[in-house]
Amino acid sequence: MASDFGPTNPEDVMVIRELVPGVTTVSLPFTRMKRIKFGGRATIVRLQSGNLAVFSPVALTPALKTHIQSLGTTVSYMVALDFEHHMFLSSWFEAFPTAHIIGPEGLPEKRAEQNRTNKDVTILPFGTIFTKKDKATIKISEEFDREFDYEYVETHPNKEIVFNHRPSQTLIEADLIFNLPATEQYSKTPGKDATSGLATNIFTRLMNTRGSAVWQKRFLWYVMVKRGDREAFGRSMERIQGWEFRNIVPCHGDCIVGDGKGVFQRVMEWHLTKKGGA
């Protein structure tokens, strides 16, 4: 999801760390609707070729540019993980103009419409567009496809594209699963706790992965996925469940290292079993 309420000082509050070998996360505070502390996150993967793939780009600060130079040769792929996570593509493409841009169907048209009133949202040359029609046959490039599984979840309202980096067994997603509170993303923000505020507290209780994750199950089943789309959504979840992954990097909330497959199965239980719950 996107909003105008990212940090005004991203350089000061950005947390850059190596999650597992080859995978770097870039975490920032991010507030939705001025009240709910979601947190935001980009993921940078170093391919075996040395080229970099960036998922859900965030503010490209001087410190982040320097860190990128230390990671690999260049940014060769930029991925908008869904219909909303595209706001920083323009600045990244300006810095890395040879990158292959990836996104879901409808996003180029959305950006073209936004460009009419906001020239900061530039028209970009998308190299790969995921569509419902070609989701089963689409290919990105030989070097990319050697390392990644991907599934276009067209029945998610934000048109999610989910990736699995096979060498590190890391699932990368935007709004498919939340893991609030956004503790790491607010860890360098003075005076702002990731759980403070009534709206944040309520949403954190809904969108976490603790215990049975029943409230997130309910949110997915009854709110996010339309009744007529549940079967197709379930098929996408079955394909993702078939991948080998141990870690999950969400855009909103803390990363999950080690028990990612178990968390995924727990949150998606109703869609995997095709049985809703209370």
**Is 154 part of any domain?**
yes
What sign for the dihedral angle of Cα 198, 201, 203, 206?
negative
- Least confident range from 122-131, 183-192, 262-271: namely 183-192
187-226: per-residue pLDDT in tens? 998 777 888 889 888 889 889 999 999 999 999 999 999 9
**Is 276 part of any domain?**
no
What are the structure tokens assigned to 215, written together?
């409230």
Tell me the pLDDT band of 4, cut-offs 50, 70 and 90. very low
- Least confident range from 4-8, 64-68, 254-258: namely 4-8
19-67: per-residue pLDDT in tens? 999 999 999 998 887 778 889 999 999 999 999 999 999 999 999 999 9
**Is 172 part of any domain?**
yes
- The pLDDT of residue 128 is 98
Tell me the pLDDT band of 86, cut-offs 50, 70 and 90. very high
**Is 265 part of any domain?**
yes
**Is 278 part of any domain?**
no
Residue 199, Cβ density class (10 Å: 0-12 exposed, 13-18 middle, ≥19 buried) = middle
Look at residues 259, 71, 58, 68 and name the one whose alpha carbon lies nearest to residue 170: 259
**Is 201 part of any domain?**
yes
Q: C-alpha distances in angstroms, 147 versus 70, 150, 151, 170, 171? A: 21, 10, 14, 11, 12
User: How many domains, the chain?
Assistant: 1
Q: pTM of the prediction?
A: 0.94
Task: Name the residue range of residue 236's domain.
Answer: 10-138+146-271
- How many Å apart are CA 278 and CA 276, to the nearest integer? 7
**Is 1 part of any domain?**
no
- The pLDDT of residue 73 is 80
Q: C-alpha distances in angstroms, 88 versus 8, 92, 110, 254? A: 14, 6, 14, 21
Q: C-alpha distances in angstroms, 101 versus 9, 26, 75, 203, 249? A: 26, 19, 10, 32, 20
CATH for 221: 3.60.15.10
